[in-house]
Chains A and B, each alone.
Chain A
Amino acid sequence: MQSVACPTCGAEVIFRSPALPVRVCDYCRTLVVRYNQGAQGKITENGGESSILPFDISPIQIGTEGNCFDQNFQIIGRVRWAWDDGAWNEWLMLLADGSHAWLGEAMGQFMALREMELAGSLAQVIRRLMNDTPVKPGESGNIAGQSYEVADVRTVRCIGCEGELPFTAPVGWEALSVDFRNRDGRCASFQKDRHGPSLYVGHHVTLASLQPRNLRPLPGWSLPAYG
């Protein structure tokens, strides 16, 4: 855990993960980037100030804990993405072994995803995506030995973020997002933005299967008792 003062407002900004470079100040929403072990924070190059996240009724919040990928996790950050027909949350999980993973939340369904290196023999559909060749829903390809089908292809826009993040995510940042599904409940997500392509692989989860603690209390709704 590392604590720095926000370069903009001076409030204490705490990095809970050892490896993540970006943190949104809880008070002034400035994106704070740390360089190596330098204790000094800095405003990002495009002077990014993350917008205030619009109200949503997600049951997850920063600080929610649970179990995923056979390890305990804690939610430390979130990016909210929007596309023409809706928006969804990507929650950043800090896993017990220090690595991180994403918990995607869309239409009341959850996906746990971990980044996979884009190396070795890749499916043709992935190679085409990397070369900016259009891909249509229904096309299939192998990822990590499993057969997947393209479920949807959309251009997405970051509309806000909070907490710690592995990258800077200024508002309005655009990316190409392609979701893959397979018939066992596995899923994968390909994303290409100005930093380059990345691939995430995982599976659908239910909130109950995460055995979550410290969920966000929502007025008018009773917190379910899990476990």
Chain B
Amino acid sequence: MAEDGSVRSLSCPACGGTITIRAAGYTVTLACEYCGTLIDATDPAGRIITRYNEMQASLAIPLGTRGTLRGVEWEAIGWLQRSDGWATWEETLLFNPYEGYRWLIAQNGQWSLGTMLTAAPQRDGPDQIVGRGRFTPFYSDNTARVTRVAGEFYWRVKPGEEVRASDYVRPGSMLSLEQDDREKSWTISELLTGREIRAAFDVDPPPVWIPGMTPLAHQPSPYVRRIKGWWPIAALSFVALLVLLVLFGQTMQPQSFSLSVTPDGPAVSQTFGPIALPLGKQAMTVAASTPGMEQGWVDIDVAFVNRKTQDSYDAYALNEHYSGQDSDGYWSEGTRSQTLKVASLPAGTYDLVVDAQAHHWGSSGNWAFDPSSGTYKTEGLPPVEVNLTVARGARFASNFWLAVLMILVPPLLMLILHIMFENARLAQKDGPPADADDWLRGMESP
């Protein structure tokens, strides 16, 4: 055995490769990183426990690599691969003589840092409590089996070794109970951010979750954090919008015009004005009401025509009112007044051109055949008064709701992604199906 600082080295009794012991005195089993042969490290001669002859996987973190994680320098000294039948993961044993051991657990490209607990968690119903963290059951009673080993370990590890494992989760952490006939041990694994693991050990960055991928049981939904960060911004924007809605929506300088049309009579076209618009661009509000109308409808076309450019800005209103008696008594429908909002009129002097035509509906009145249109029309009905109030400015509620919708689109998208993420995560849960409680827990911050 050569002596070099804190590291001891020996030749693998099986393949002759030089292997090192980095945690001398603690290490019990040494798996040759070249041929996989298990060596008894408590025997000064390095006795072979089991001879293997398999190619070792190329490790993401080669044994002997050092990295600083959360302020502590760690050396990767052991590696094992485990499987519970449907999932496979890798565990790297980290060592620092002043800090003891930690585990780096890699699954689906995500990395967690595992610390063995010296005290058992507190039980609360089905949950387990460690410190202030509450862990809910997720996987129960799986058998985790060691499939491959390399490096050194503080216990007699060998391929095929099995433990019964149960896991409890909270966002960002997993609490695992592993037991065999001799021992029960609890480990907390905290999910490391891509930045943390990459800064410590130069590994591939963890993949960003996309729909279709299976998240880890303790992987926090990346969308919750966004939704939580965004909602004050959304609320603030909503308030700002309300203020803008109130500030920019007043109507002013109303002008009233009126004309009368005879039901089933000729269309009436009348021009009112001038209407002077001094500002750059503005909307116009036209309130068209036909207070005296019964059993009929009035088509009202309004057009603001710029006197200079002859540009026309048009809108159309249909006022109608019908009523009658049936077995349920009196009924009426239709509205006798409409408010039209016309957008973006440039400054200038305008005429208001109104085309109105009234129609009668029903069987009452004097009907006569009109040869020009080939239909029967009533005659002798009193004319209907059309009142128009034109004012500068308009309050477009549609703009407001559109803006609210646009503000809500990103959080809603995040919410949908969050639901998809949590669905995929909770689908793996053992035991009773995920309930509202599991969903609420998923919203908690890591």
Chains A and B touch each other in the complex, with CB atoms below 8 Å apart: yes
Tell me if B98 and A87 are in contact (CB < 8 A).
no
Hey, what's the 0/1 contact readout for A174-187 against B, CB within 8 Å counting as 1?
Answer: 00000001111111
Q: Which of A54, A58, A86, A89 is the one whose CB lies under 8 Å from B28?
A: A86
Which A162-213 residues sit within 8 Å CB-CB of chain B?
Answer: 181-187, 204, 207
Tell me if A218 and B182 are in contact (CB < 8 A).
no
Tell me if B25 and A55 are in contact (CB < 8 A).
yes
Count, chain B residues at interface, CB 8 A: 35
Tell me if B97 and A57 are in contact (CB < 8 A).
yes
Instruction: Say whether, besides A82-B42, A137-B182, A151-B183, A108 and B26 are in contact (CB < 8 Å).
Output: yes
Report the separation of the CA atoms of residues A210 and B10 in the bound assembly, to the nearest whole angstrom.
Answer: 35
Report the separation of the CA atoms of residues A35 and B7 in the bound assembly, to the nearest whole angstrom.
Answer: 41
Tell me if A107 and B183 are in contact (CB < 8 A).
no
Report the separation of the CA atoms of residues A187 and B24 in the bound assembly, to the nearest whole angstrom.
Answer: 26
Residues of A within 8 A of B122 (CB): 183
Tell me if B28 and A108 are in contact (CB < 8 A).
no
- Cβ of A85 < 8 Å from any Cβ of B? yes
What's the nearest-Cβ distance from chain B to residue A190, in Å?
Answer: 17
Residues of A within 8 A of B73 (CB): 221-222
Report the separation of the CA atoms of residues A215 and B122 in the bound assembly, to the nearest whole angstrom.
Answer: 34
User: Which of B8, B98, B99, B182 is packed against the most chain A CB atoms within 10 Å?
Assistant: B98
Instruction: Say whether, besides A82-B42, A108-B99, A152 and B183 are in contact (CB < 8 Å).
Output: yes
Instruction: Say whether, besides A137-B183, A152-B182, A87 and B101 are in contact (CB < 8 Å).
Output: no
Residues of A within 8 A of B338 (CB): none
Tell me if A54 and B44 are in contact (CB < 8 A).
yes
Residues of B within 8 A of A219 (CB): 5-6
Report the separation of the CA atoms of residues A182 and B119 in the bound assembly, to the nearest whole angstrom.
Answer: 7
Tell me if A184 and B119 are in contact (CB < 8 A).
yes
Q: Which residue of A lies closest to B28 (CB)?
A: A86
Q: Which residue of B lies closest to A85 (CB)?
A: B156
- Cβ of A38 < 8 Å from any Cβ of B? no
Report the separation of the CA atoms of residues A85 and B181 in the bound assembly, to the nearest whole angstrom.
Answer: 15
- Cβ of A59 < 8 Å from any Cβ of B? yes
- Cβ of B121 < 8 Å from any Cβ of A? yes
Hey, what's the 0/1 contact readout for B178-191 against A, CB within 8 Å counting as 1?
Answer: 00011110000000
Report the separation of the CA atoms of residues A65 and B122 in the bound assembly, to the nearest whole angstrom.
Answer: 33
Tell me if B156 and A59 are in contact (CB < 8 A).
no
Report the separation of the CA atoms of residues A223 and B6 in the bound assembly, to the nearest whole angstrom.
Answer: 13
Report the separation of the CA atoms of residues A202 and B426 in the bound assembly, to the nearest whole angstrom.
Answer: 41
- Cβ of A224 < 8 Å from any Cβ of B? yes
- Cβ of B23 < 8 Å from any Cβ of A? yes
Report the separation of the CA atoms of residues A109 and B7 in the bound assembly, to the nearest whole angstrom.
Answer: 20
- Cβ of A220 < 8 Å from any Cβ of B? yes
Report the separation of the CA atoms of residues A187 and B42 in the bound assembly, to the nearest whole angstrom.
Answer: 26
Instruction: Say whether, besides A86-B42, A207-B98, A222-B73, A54 and B25 are in contact (CB < 8 Å).
Output: yes
Interface of B (DSSP majority class) = loop
Hey, what's the 0/1 contact readout for B67-81 against A, CB within 8 Å counting as 1?
Answer: 000001100000000
Tell me if B24 and A56 are in contact (CB < 8 A).
yes
Report the separation of the CA atoms of residues A57 and B6 in the bound assembly, to the nearest whole angstrom.
Answer: 7
Report the separation of the CA atoms of residues A187 and B117 in the bound assembly, to the nearest whole angstrom.
Answer: 13
Instruction: Say whether, besides A82-B42, A107-B154, A224-B98, A183 and B120 are in contact (CB < 8 Å).
Output: yes
Tell me if A215 and B98 are in contact (CB < 8 A).
yes
Residues of A within 8 A of B25 (CB): 54-58, 87, 89
Tell me if B24 and A57 are in contact (CB < 8 A).
yes
- Cβ of B95 < 8 Å from any Cβ of A? yes
Tell me if A107 and B5 are in contact (CB < 8 A).
no
Tell me if B154 and A86 are in contact (CB < 8 A).
yes
- Cβ of B155 < 8 Å from any Cβ of A? yes
Q: Which residue of B lies closest to A53 (CB)?
A: B25
Tell me if A223 and B156 are in contact (CB < 8 A).
no
User: Which of A57, A137, A215, A223 is packed against the most chain B CB atoms within 10 Å?
Assistant: A57
Tell me if B42 and A185 are in contact (CB < 8 A).
no
Tell me if A221 and B182 are in contact (CB < 8 A).
no
Residues of B within 8 A of A184 (CB): 119
Hey, what's the 0/1 contact readout for B90-126 against A, CB within 8 Å counting as 1?
Answer: 0000011111110000000000000010111110000
Hey, what's the 0/1 contact readout for B33-52 against A, CB within 8 Å counting as 1?
Answer: 00000000010100000000
Q: Which residue of A lies closest to B95 (CB)?
A: A108
Tell me if A58 and B97 are in contact (CB < 8 A).
yes
Report the separation of the CA atoms of residues A137 and B99 in the bound assembly, to the nearest whole angstrom.
Answer: 27
16 A-B residue pairs with CB within 8 Å: A55-B8, A56-B26, A57-B23, A58-B97, A85-B155, A86-B155, A87-B25, A107-B155, A109-B116, A109-B118, A137-B181, A181-B120, A183-B122, A185-B119, A220-B5, A222-B73
A-binding residues in B (CB < 8 A) = 3, 5-8, 22-26, 28, 42, 44, 72-73, 95-101, 116, 118-122, 154-156, 181-184
B-binding residues in A (CB < 8 A) = 54-59, 82, 85-87, 89, 107-109, 137-138, 151-152, 181-187, 204, 207, 215, 218-224
Inter-chain pairs besides A59-B97, A183-B122, A207-B100, 19 sampled, C-beta below 8 Å: A54-B44, A55-B8, A55-B24, A57-B25, A59-B98, A86-B26, A86-B28, A107-B154, A108-B99, A108-B101, A109-B116, A151-B183, A151-B184, A181-B119, A219-B5, A220-B6, A220-B7, A221-B98, A223-B98
